[in-house]
């Protein structure tokens, strides 16, 4: 049933809307599982399994979810650091995966990334000025005579002193290194920066410095962020819209305020109830999810969340829910919010699936007898 | 990082001097430890208050490294009362883990040494062990039996080549050599059940790689609980876990505490986790305790500028602020600590006295103690932290 409606698409023509900087449509990324012998493909890890969203210019979208739910894979696929399996990614109205090598190279400065670990993402052999300036020279962002001034200006914007230019990364603390990473991304004058857990390796007091820096840079340069994090309080602080992921699917997407005030999907509810609040008088009403996230190589049938869901119904076990708009700009993928028509389709699918299951079981029995 | 270009480099001469000094000091300390084996008097003391499980009294733990002496823990004092949870909070590198390792005597020797102070562990009969001098043979009876530890990473702290059952059994057999095999297994299954593992028989014969992170952490907790310890040290028990699994584990710890009635020393950098769990909170900064008190004191009336800053710099769900407060600068270099308040250079509430001696601990209410000159009053000064000069060792 999902297929039937997804084809119509929530984001029909969204790539033509100049407001949207990045549009991702039904993106899929499967990693093949190879058998050790003959390197045959024996299955797929469905890291990202049909995700669609759009980010408006100058806004921040947060992407949250447990580890292994495919957040980072989405990021890397959008940047074309790895190939997609299916789907489309439009950046500024252009399909990124349709670009040739040369065209992509021209587009690259506009899309930048900040990695999670500032300790391993900086080359230990290059001085900081060179780390930041390498790509600037390569892409000829400024004429050679202005190069030095430009790097100093970028570093200043990120709160790095000028004398840091000739230093090597090992001389800096974690927070300073993350500033270098930000400066490196910013130096190319990008429209879009993908922040892949930029603060999770840092201490609380340094986290605040980096978050404030990212926000002030956004205001100054009109940047658009995709902010991937597992820390919900950070995401709430920095994002305009938030997408919640579970096992390769997006289960809920809404403006931050709406989402945090009124989470609709049972998973989002449980996730939010688990956030520790720094107030000893606050009574926590944790919704404890049983078990852990299933393997993406062998995801459950129907709604992927049904194995842990408190509100699981019969149809959830067989029919895949639609990702659709329930309220204004509030998207959710859950059977709880089905229309009657959708319920009917789901019911039909469930019965069909059950029938098929029965037949298969009988076949197996018969097969054994023979 | 300082303006001086060469601070992070050491000349060959200097490096040789440090190595020689380290060798001399560690050799002396090690031989002192070896002597302590003989006389039980050397490691038996008395508790200040019988209602405490552990008392830290001006503990100093130094690391004699190649770049100089790192004062990881520099004269800290706090206590863990019976049947309560004490949260130890601080940034990475502030010495919270070293504190717990000193208590367990799991420091990487000979580089890491407890060079001063007392750690008193209540024996229950009016006397106490001074963990600092306790020899290994005695420590082996205490560790895992009277106090046990839950480590940060369940992925790396279980042995991959032994079955879960064997690993839990081991802890029980070691401290109860008389128990029969069946009893041990029954106890292990009981423990696995207690930590909420549904398929206990199955898990008993599984290997760690077959379990998820949350399940492994449950097994770790089962091992820690094996001998009904009086004190459980939980060193960042949920940091490596996802939010939903974190909620499961915290819930479990809370229930277990009620059930078995032991004290928990919860080490974490997450203020949210501490608020939900702890009765008392100790805030550490650069190897020293800067503030301690009940959870209510710390969260509702924070006094030290660092604690206040820490609270404000963490975004809280449901409380929207335009810009987060941030504490400027970073932690001073641990090899070369200043002789005034360690937080002065980052502090926005300095007064004239801040440039003087390191501030003493000052009592501002019956339960609330802070090290900051903003509350300085002759009458309320408890004590100045006692440190040890490595040159005099």
Is residue B49 in a domain?
yes
Contact B222, B170 (CB under 8 A): no
Is residue B270 in a domain?
no
pLDDT of chain B, 393 residues: tens digit per residue: 444 444 557 788 888 998 999 999 888 888 888 777 677 787 888 888 888 999 999 999 999 988 888 888 988 999 999 989 999 998 888 888 899 999 998 888 888 888 888 899 988 888 888 888 888 888 888 888 889 999 887 778 899 999 999 999 999 999 988 999 999 999 999 999 888 888 888 899 999 988 888 888 889 999 998 888 889 999 888 877 778 888 888 888 888 888 888 899 999 888 888 888 899 999 999 889 999 999 999 999 999 999 998 888 888 877 777 788 888 877 887 788 888 888 988 888 888 888 888 899 999 999 999 999 888 888 888 888 888 887 777
Whether B210 has its CB under 8 Å from any CB of chain A: the answer is no
Query: Which residue in chain B has the smallest CA separation from A174?
Result: B330
Is residue B27 in a domain?
yes
Name which of B8, B275, B324 is nearest A280 (Cβ-Cβ): B275
Is residue B188 in a domain?
no
Can you tell me the distance from the alpha carbon of A232 to that of A200, in angstroms, rounded to the nearest whole number?
11
Query: Are the beta carbons of A163 and B212 separated by less than 8 Å?
Result: no
Can you tell me the distance from the alpha carbon of A305 to that of A154, in angstroms, rounded to the nearest whole number?
45
Q: What's the start-to-end Cα distance of chain A, in Å?
A: 36
Contact A221, A158 (CB under 8 A): no
What's the number of domains chain B is made of?
1
Total residues found in chain A within this entry: 370
Name which of B273, B315, B327 is nearest A234 (Cβ-Cβ): B315
Among the residue ranges A4-13, A56-65, A78-87, B226-235, the one predicted with the least confidence is A4-13
pLDDT in tens, A164-218: 888 899 888 888 899 999 999 999 999 999 999 888 878 888 888 889 999 999 9
Is residue B112 in a domain?
yes
Can you tell me the distance from the alpha carbon of A101 to that of A97, in angstroms, rounded to the nearest whole number?
10
Query: What value, to the nearest 5°, has the Cα angle with vertex A102 and ends A101 and A106?
Result: 115
Is residue B47 in a domain?
yes
Is residue B147 in a domain?
no
Range of the domain at B58: 1-132+287-393
Which domain CATH number covers B26? 3.40.50.300
Query: Are the beta carbons of B275 and A167 separated by less than 8 Å?
Result: no
Question: Taken in order B277, B282, B285, B291, is the CA torsion positive or negative?
Answer: positive
Mutation site for A-interface testing, chosen from B317, B323, B332, B347 by largest number of A Cβ within 10 Å: B317
**Residue A343 token pair:** 């319920």
Query: Which residue in chain A has the smallest CA separation from B297?
Result: A280
Where in chain A does DSSP place strands (E)? 20-34, 41-56, 60-64, 86-91, 94-95, 111-114, 192-196, 224-228, 241-246, 249-255, 324-327, 330-332
Query: Which residue in chain A has the smallest CA separation from B318?
Result: A260
Query: Which residue in chain B has the smallest CA separation from A288?
Result: B248
Closest by CA position to B389, among listed B332, B339, B331:
B339
Q: DSSP for A52-121?
A: EEEEETT-EEEEE--TTSSHHHHHHHHTTSS--SEEEEEETTEEGGG--HHHHHHHGGGEEEE-S-TTTS
In three-state secondary structure terms, B194 is helix
Is residue B114 in a domain?
yes
Can you tell me the distance from the alpha carbon of A114 to that of A108, in angstroms, rounded to the nearest whole number?
14
In angstroms, the Cα distances linking A251 to A55, A242, B328 are 17, 11, 39
Closest by CA position to A67, among listed A319, A225, A247:
A247
Which residues are registered as beta bridge partners of B231? Answer: B147, B263
What's the DSSP call for residue B265?
Answer: E
| B residues 25-44 lying closer than 8 A (beta carbon) to A | none
pLDDT, residue B8, reads 58
Whether B3 has its CB under 8 Å from any CB of chain A: the answer is yes
Contact A179, B285 (CB under 8 A): no
**Residue B209 token pair:** 């790689």
Query: Is 70 exceeded by the pLDDT of residue A10?
Result: no
């Amino acid at each position: 049933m999902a297929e039937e409606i997804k084809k119509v698409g929530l984001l029909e023509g969204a790539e033509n809307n100049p407001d949207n900087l990045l549009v991702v449509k039904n993106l899929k990324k499967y990693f093949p599982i190879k058998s050790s012998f003959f390197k045959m493909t024996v299955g797929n890890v469905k890291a990202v399994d049909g995700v669609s969203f759009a980010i408006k210019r100058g806004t921040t979208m947060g992407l949250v979810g447990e580890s292994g739910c495919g957040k980072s894979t989405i990021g890397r696929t959008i940047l074309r650091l790895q190939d997609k399996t299916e789907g489309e990614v439009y950046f500024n109205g252009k399909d990124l995966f349709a670009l040739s090598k040369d065209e992509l190279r021209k587009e690259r400065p506009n899309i930048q990334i900040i990695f999670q670990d500032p300790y391993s993402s900086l080359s230990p052999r290059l001085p900081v000025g060179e780390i930041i300036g390498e790509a600037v020279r390569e892409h000829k962002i400024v004429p050679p005579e202005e190069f030095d001034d430009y790097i100093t200006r970028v570093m200043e914007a990120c709160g790095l002193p000028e004398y840091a230019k000739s230093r090597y990364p090992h001389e800096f603390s974690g927070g300073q290194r993350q500033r270098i990473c930000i400066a490196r991304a910013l130096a190319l004058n990008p429209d879009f920066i993908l922040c892949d857990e930029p603060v999770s390796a840092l201490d609380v007091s340094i986290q605040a410095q980096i978050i404030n820096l990212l926000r002030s840079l956004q205001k100054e340069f009109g940047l658009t962020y995709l902010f991937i994090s597992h820390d919900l309080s950070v995401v709430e602080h920095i994002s305009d819209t938030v997408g919640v992921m579970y096992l390769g699917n997006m289960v809920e997407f809404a403006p931050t305020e709406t989402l945090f005030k009124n989470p609709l999907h049972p998973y989002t509810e449980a996730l939010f109830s688990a956030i520790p609040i720094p107030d000893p008088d606050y009574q926590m009403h944790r919704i404890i999810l049983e078990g852990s996230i299933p393997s993406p190589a062998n995801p459950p049938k129907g709604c992927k969340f049904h194995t842990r869901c408190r509100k699981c119904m019969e149809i959830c076990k067989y029919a895949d829910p639609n990702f659709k708009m329930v309220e204004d700009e509030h998207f959710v993928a859950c059977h709880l919010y089905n229309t009657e028509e959708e319920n009917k389709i789901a019911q039909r699918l469930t019965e069909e699936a059950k029938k098929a299951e029965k037949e298969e079981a009988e076949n197996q029995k018969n097969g054994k007898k023979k | 990082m300082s303006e001086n270009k060469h601070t992070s480099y050491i000349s060959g001469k200097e490096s040789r001097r440090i190595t020689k000094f380290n060798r001399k000091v560690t050799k002396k300390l090690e031989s002192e430890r070896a002597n302590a084996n003989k006389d039980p008097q050397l490691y038996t003391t008395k508790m200040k208050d019988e209602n405490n499980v552990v008392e830290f009294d001006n503990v100093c733990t130094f690391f004699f490294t190649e770049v100089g002496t790192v004062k990881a823990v520099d004269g800290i004092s706090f206590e863990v009362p019976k049947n309560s949870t004490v949260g130890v909070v601080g940034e990475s590198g502030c010495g919270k883990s070293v504190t717990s390792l000193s208590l367990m005597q799991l420091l990487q020797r000979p580089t890491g040494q407890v060079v001063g102070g007392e750690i008193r562990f209540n024996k229950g009969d009016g006397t106490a062990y001074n963990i600092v001098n306790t020899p290994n043979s005695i420590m082996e009876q205490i560790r895992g039996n009277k106090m046990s530890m839950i480590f940060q990473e369940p992925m790396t702290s279980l042995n991959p080549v032994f079955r879960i059952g064997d690993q839990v059994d081991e802890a029980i057999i070691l401290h109860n050599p008389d128990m029969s095999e069946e009893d041990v297994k029954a106890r292990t299954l009981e423990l696995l059940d207690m930590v909420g593992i549904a398929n206990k028989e199955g898990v008993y014969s599984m290997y760690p790689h077959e379990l998820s992170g949350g399940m492994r952490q449950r097994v770790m907790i089962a091992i820690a609980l094996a001998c009904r310890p009086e004190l459980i040290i939980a060193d960042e028990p949920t940091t490596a876990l996802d939010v939903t699994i974190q909620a499961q584990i915290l819930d479990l710890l809370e229930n277990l505490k009620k059930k078995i009635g032991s004290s928990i020393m919860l080490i974490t950098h997450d203020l949210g986790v501490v608020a939900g769990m702890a009765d008392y909170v100790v805030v550490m900064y650069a190897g020293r305790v800067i503030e301690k008190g009940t959870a209510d004191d710390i969260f509702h009336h924070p006094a030290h500028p660092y604690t206040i800053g820490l609270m404000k710099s963490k975004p809280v769900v449901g409380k929207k602020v335009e810009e987060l407060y941030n504490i400027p600068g970073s932690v001073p270099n641990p090899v070369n600590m200043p002789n005034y308040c360690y937080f002065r250079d980052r502090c926005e509430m300095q007064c004239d006295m801040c440039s003087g001696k390191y501030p003493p601990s000052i009592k501002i209410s019956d339960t609330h103690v802070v090290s900051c000159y903003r509350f300085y009053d002759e009458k309320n000064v408890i004590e100045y932290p006692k440190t040890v000069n490595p040159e005099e060792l």
